[in-house]
Amino acid sequence: MSPEKLSKTAIDDYLFHCQHLHKTPSESFFKHTIFGLRALYKVLGMSGQKVNLPQIKRDTKLPIVLSKSEVKSLLNAPKYLKHRLMLAVLYGCGLRSYELCDLRLSDIDFERKTVFVKKKKGIVDRYVPLSDHLARGLQKYFQSEQPQVYVFNSQKTDDGAFKPLTTRAVQWLIKECRGKIQTNKKITAHTLRHTYATHLLEDGLNIMSLKELLGHAHIETTLVYLHVANTGSSKKFSPLDTLFK
């Protein structure tokens, strides 16, 4: 039955079913179901039905952030240059894993020292700075490996076309490397993006510039890093540090 014909009880029953449909800790499917229903009722002018939908609480969990020494250890963990550069681009440019996979040779500008990140899923296009260290590593990698089309190619198809790297390959790489460094922190591709943002704030970058580099649509998404960064007038310390002075 079409959603506009459902009673409040029927909708509640369906949402209860959605919430218990998956055994994963993520409620993404449940949230998007509510967002979809809200959008539908807004278009149809059914404000009463929209009000009856449950509120979605914003996720307030703070991100896991690596120290600079942990990042150095992680970047040195892979045996091959390609794998080191994959991790270095994730951290050095603050990319999401799918953005790393979609990165093309034409997106790298060694002269202007920039990386162009194309928009996807409604996120705006953006340029991010290319580190001198990363530029030298990429140039060496391009000369030795000679990738085609994509910065990090996967296997060729049967017709000889080059395929981009997959996010599953990125996950595999990080899983292989995190066991080689001395840390108990959970590390994912997005951990490197969180670490990129936090380190930039701690190194003096302002919050609005950080928002542009991360490609966030709303400043509220970027503000979470102010709760993690230990910098400026909000630099955090323990009273034990001053107790014995």
Task: Write out pLDDT tens, residues 56-104.
Answer: 666 668 899 999 999 999 999 999 999 999 999 999 999 999 999 999 9
Q: Give the residue range(s) of CATH 1.10.443.10 domains in the chain.
A: 68-227
Structure confidence at residue 196 (pLDDT): 96
- pLDDT tens digits along 131-183: 999 999 999 999 999 998 999 988 766 677 788 899 999 999 999 999 899 88
- pLDDT tens digits along 4-15: 888 888 888 887
Helix 189-202 crosses helix 207-214 at what angle (to 10 degrees)?
160
Mean pLDDT score of the chain: 86
* Nearest partner of 71 among 192, 166, 224, judged by Cα: 192
Report the top-level CATH class of 68-227.
mainly alpha
Structure confidence at residue 27 (pLDDT): 61
- pLDDT tens digits along 21-35: 665 545 666 777 878
Cβ atoms 30, 18 nearer than 8 A: yes
> Annotated catalytic sites, by residue?
96, 121, 190, 193, 216, 225
Separation between Cα atoms, residue 52 and residue 55, nearest integer Å: 9
